[in-house]
Amino acid sequence: MKIPALVMASLLAVGVSGQTTKPVKKGSKPVKKIRKADSPKTVKAEPKHVVKKDTILKYGGGCPACGMG
Amino acid sequence: MMPEADFVSAILPLLQNNSIDVLEWSFDTFYDTEEPSWLSGLLDFYAENDRLIGHGVYYSLFDGRWNDRQENWLRKLKEECKRRNYNHITEHFGFMNTENFHQGVPLPVPLLPKTLQIGKDRLRRLQDAVGIPVGVENLAFSFSLDDVREQGRFLDMLVEDIDGFLILDLHNIYCQACNFEIDMQDIISMYPLGKVKEIHLSGGSWQESAYGKKPIRRDTHDDRIPEEILQTLPKVLSQCYNLEYIIIERLGNTLNNDTEKQIFFSDFNHVKEIIEVSVYPNVDKENWKRAEKIYSEPVEDLLLHEEQTRLTKLLFDENNIESVKNEQFIYFKPENWDEEMIMTAQQIIKKWNPY
């Protein structure tokens, strides 16, 4: 199953340019200001070190749905 | 499929050599958002070739109350399914009931007649909306070993009426195995493996124990697939005789350097090799039997809803563990919950769920 050249070209453009893919909101709903959560301390593997600060990713930035993210 | 540029950049070589047979798309993460044209092009192409599967995040199968948000979610899903051809649609086990649902996190519910009835009702509504097979994924988070032990049976009963199927997320099982010190295969054997049509694979991270005990495993989708999972995979493949899809999950913003990309490719190729040499049981697959639409009022339980709301708030407010354990509920039994997991729930809920 070969991806059409036109689709591939657009993917290459995104990949190469590092184009930001921050989604654009369709509507202009007022955004409720939210308090950013403190980061739980997480470590990846031994030797222990902090992996990353938790970030609130609103759209398309992650999947909380497995329940252990 | 993730919409970040880093992710697209990382998987380009795989797309170029046609190695990705199927894409899974979390359609509801873009419900209120304009898709970039490259993303639409790619998803449309996979859909036109019967290679696109849909994975919902925000429906919430076990909210005690039926609300407008769920009604809207189904309406938008109907539109999405008219626009694109999905092979099937899946959702997650658990409830998510916050005002700002986009930042909710699913928590488990106990297996009781009422919770099962609510879950079946929500799943039936989802099934009626889409007209294609619907499945449910196992949840990584569990408050107690009891949650772990009953989830397979719960999921089995849940999908019964709609002839639904399961996603078996092996990293979610791995989290439970690590956090409750139980063998992965023991947990897997509690699932109705004949109903598994899709497997999820991913990596995660360790969170330091608040009690100075062993670290807690979390399903953060930001690292390599653990070796234990890859070792377990061949046996699981031989047991899941209705399996059709294997999806590797990785957060889009975590493939931002060459080392991470190499790890991802290595995982991808390793999984492909395992699939190629796997022996699948020769079983005739039964055709999906679509349940007939039946109009009925949504099943609700306001006491369950009140308890879900109170529990979510209680966890968000980071009450001390003793006070969470001493809180009086009818549906939930926090007195039996693992202290470490209560604390983990507090951290996860704070991460995704600011009021």
Residues from chain A that touch B38, judged by Cβ atoms under 8 A, are 7, 10-11, 13-14
Residues from chain B that touch A66, judged by Cβ atoms under 8 A, are 92, 137, 139-141, 169, 171-172, 219, 221
Can you give the pLDDT at residue A65?
Answer: 58
B333 or A40: which carries more pLDDT confidence? B333
ipTM (interface pTM)? 0.84
Can you give the pLDDT at residue B121?
Answer: 97
Can you give the pLDDT at residue A24?
Answer: 54
Helix (H) or strand (E) holding B168: strand B165-169
Can you give the pLDDT at residue B79?
Answer: 96
Spell out the residues 6+ positions from residue B66 whose beta carbon is closer than 8 angstroms to its own.
B121, B122, B298, B299, B300
Average pLDDT for chain B: 92
Can you give the pLDDT at residue B285?
Answer: 76
Q: Which of B73-82, B96-105, B249-258 shows the highest mean pLDDT?
A: B73-82
Q: Evaluate if residue A47 carries a pLDDT over 50.
A: no
Can you give the pLDDT at residue A55?
Answer: 34
Can you give the pLDDT at residue A68?
Answer: 63
pLDDT confidence band for B241 (50 / 70 / 90): very high
Rounded average pLDDT over B72-98: 94
B75 or A60: which carries more pLDDT confidence? B75
Rounded average pLDDT over B117-124: 97
Can you give the pLDDT at residue A49?
Answer: 43
Sheet holding A42-43, edge to edge: A42-43, B205-207, B216-218
**Residue whose tokens read 């294609």:** B132
Q: Evaluate if residue B91 carries a pLDDT over 50.
A: yes
Q: Evaluate if residue B19 carries a pLDDT over 80.
A: yes
Q: Evaluate if residue B353 carries a pLDDT over 90.
A: no
Q: Do A7 and B38 touch (CB under 8 A)?
A: yes
Q: Evaluate if residue B164 carries a pLDDT over 60.
A: yes
What phi and psi values does residue B218 have, to the nearest 5 degrees? -125, 150
Q: Do B221 and A69 touch (CB under 8 A)?
A: yes
Q: Which of A10-19, A41-50, B26-35, B79-88 shows the highest mean pLDDT?
A: B79-88
Average pLDDT for chain A: 59
**B226 close to B196: Cβ distance less than 8 angstroms:** no
Which range has the worst mean pLDDT, A14-28, B84-98, B193-207? A14-28
Rounded average pLDDT over B186-201: 98
Which residues 24-43 of A are in CB contact (within 8 Å) with B? 24-27, 29, 32, 34-43
Residues from chain B that touch A1, judged by Cβ atoms under 8 A, are 18, 21, 49, 51
Q: How far is CA B157 from CA B119, B122, B150, B265, in A?
A: 10, 14, 11, 37
Q: Evaluate if residue A67 carries a pLDDT over 70.
A: no
Q: Do B348 and A24 touch (CB under 8 A)?
A: no
pLDDT confidence band for B6 (50 / 70 / 90): confident
Which range has the worst mean pLDDT, B78-82, B96-100, B119-123, B204-208? B96-100
pTM above 0.80, yes or no: yes
Number of H helices, E strands in chain A: 1, 2
**Residue whose tokens read 């708030």:** B313
* A58 at interface of B, judged by CB pairs closer than 8 A: yes
Of B99, B178, B348, B351, which to mutate for an interface test with A (greatest number of A Cβ within 10 Å)? B351
User: What whole-number percentage of chain A has pLDDT above 90?
Assistant: 17
Q: How many CB pairs under 8 A join A and B?
A: 200
Nearest beta carbon to residue B57 from set A4, A45, A65: A65
Rounded average pLDDT over B154-170: 97
Eight-class DSSP state of B204: -
Rounded average pLDDT over A25-41: 52
Can you give the pLDDT at residue B286?
Answer: 77
Q: What is the per-residue pLDDT across B268-310, written as a single tens digit (0 to 9) for each?
A: 999 999 999 987 777 777 788 888 877 889 999 999 999 999 9
Q: Evaluate if residue B48 carries a pLDDT over 70.
A: yes
A29 or B124: which carries more pLDDT confidence? B124
Can you give the pLDDT at residue B280?
Answer: 75
* Calpha distance B316→B136 (Å, rounded): 26
* Calpha distance B191→A35 (Å, rounded): 39
